[in-house]
């Protein structure tokens, strides 16, 4: 196997791909690697279009825009909480006000209930702020016109209706403004990401003009040697079967470019994280010595000399 990979080119279609990661954090990590590589080698290999300074400028812009976006998303949470609290307070007030008004308007829906904002068909208190706000306004106006129907001990007053209306309106406005800010910052972040992807794709193209496909200096940039074998694909169709006697059979479909496989396990209550259970040559392994009744998660991945491929989906089984 070693002779095949080190002394012959890989078969067509299995050469290493420097496809950029979809995950933004992984892309930024790759960016750090490429900048470090440029720092070491840009003079030696005469990089002109994608120097360390170019890479770090685009990387810094992306990291800053990502940070601003992440902060905007984080800042939304307390605003959403405030809106939820304001809505809950308003609904509580409206429920109490409705009970107070029954003394004057009756206990069943009727045309009389239109005055404080309800309909003649329903006395329900709405659950959404879009409907709560106008009802609060109507109740405020009703109590302003009919001050004798206020109930100060229960805080059913025009002033309280107005305060709750203002609080809910302000909370909605703050949340809406934050949603706008999040959208703007996401647009900025995405533009920064696209610019950075363009930069790294440009670097890869420039390196391809200066380095042989098997030149080890590709690795200095955190990239793969295009002429080397590629890492395996993710395993698919992972399955686990409890066989009894503390045994579980774990299988997957074969993965392209796999030399062997890894089976990882996490037993509930025993393992803080997944651990390597075995490394079979084929994607089919019976694990023994497990505790009957234990709940265990399993996942598999394929491995070759370039390293492991992505894990397949984890699955959970109760050991028998």
Provide the pLDDT for residue 261. 96
The whole-number pLDDT of residue 155 equals: 97
Distance between CA 235 and CA 249 in Å, rounded? 16
Q: Is 23 helix (H, G, I), strand (E, B) or coil?
A: coil
Predicted TM-score of the model (pTM): 0.69
Task: Tell me the backbone φ, ψ of residue 208, rounded to 5 degrees.
Answer: -65, -25
Per-residue pLDDT, 104: 96
R_g over Cα of the chain:
32
For the stretch 105-117, pLDDT in tens is: 999 999 999 999 9
Please report which residue ranges of 42-51 form alpha helices under DSSP H: none
Three-class secondary structure of residue 204 per DSSP = helix
Going residue by residue through the chain (320 aa), what tens digit of pLDDT does each one get? 333 333 344 443 445 778 898 899 999 999 999 999 999 999 999 999 999 999 999 999 999 999 999 999 999 999 999 999 999 999 999 999 999 999 999 999 999 999 999 999 999 999 999 999 999 999 999 999 999 999 999 999 999 999 999 999 999 999 999 999 999 999 999 999 999 999 999 999 999 999 999 999 999 999 988 988 778 888 999 999 999 999 999 999 999 889 999 999 999 999 999 999 999 999 999 999 999 999 999 999 999 887 898 999 999 999 99
Alpha-carbon gap, residue 115 to 222, rounded angstroms: 71
Instruction: Please give the Cα distance from 30 to 298 (Å, whole number).
Output: 29
Contact, 139 vs 90, CB < 8 A? no
pLDDT of 15 reads 54
> What confidence score (pLDDT) does residue 6 get?
36
Tell me how far apart the alpha carbons of residues 162 and 93 are, in angstroms, rounded to a whole number. Answer: 11
pLDDT value of position 14 = 45
């Amino acid at each position: 196997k070693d002779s095949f990979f080190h002394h012959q080119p890989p078969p067509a279609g299995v050469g290493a791909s420097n496809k950029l990661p979809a995950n933004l954090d992984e892309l930024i990590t790759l960016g750090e690697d490429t900048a470090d590589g440029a720092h070491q080698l840009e003079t030696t290999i005469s990089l002109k279009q994608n120097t360390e300074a170019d890479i770090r400028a685009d990387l810094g812009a992306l990291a800053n825009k990502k940070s601003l976006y992440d902060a905007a998303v984080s800042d939304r949470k307390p605003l959403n909480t405030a809106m939820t609290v304001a809505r809950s307070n308003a609904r509580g007030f409206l429920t109490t006000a409705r009970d107070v008004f029954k003394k004057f308007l009756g206990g069943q829906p009727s045309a009389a209930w239109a005055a404080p904002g309800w309909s003649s068909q329903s006395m329900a208190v709405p659950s959404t702020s879009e409907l709560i706000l106008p009802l609060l306004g109507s109740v405020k106006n009703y109590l302003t016109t009919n001050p004798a129907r206020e109930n100060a001990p229960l805080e059913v007053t025009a002033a309280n209706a107005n305060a709750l209306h203002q609080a809910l309106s302000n909370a909605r406005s703050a949340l809406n403004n934050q949603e706008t800010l999040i959208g703007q910052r996401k647009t900025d972040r995405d533009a920064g990401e696209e610019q950075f992807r363009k930069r790294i794709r440009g670097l890869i193209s420039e390196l391809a003009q200066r380095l042989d496909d098997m030149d080890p200096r590709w690795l200095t940039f955190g990239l793969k040697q295009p002429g080397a074998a590629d890492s395996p694909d993710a395993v698919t169709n992972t399955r686990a079967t409890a066989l009894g006697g503390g045994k579980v059979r774990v299988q997957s479909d074969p993965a392209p470019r796999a030399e062997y496989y890894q089976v990882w396990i996490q037993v509930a209550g025993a393992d803080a994280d997944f651990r390597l259970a075995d490394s079979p040559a084929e994607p089919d392994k019976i694990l023994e010595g497990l505790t009957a009744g234990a709940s265990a998660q399993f996942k598999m991945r394929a491995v070759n000399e370039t390293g492991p491929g992505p894990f397949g989906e984890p699955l959970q089984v109760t050991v028998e």
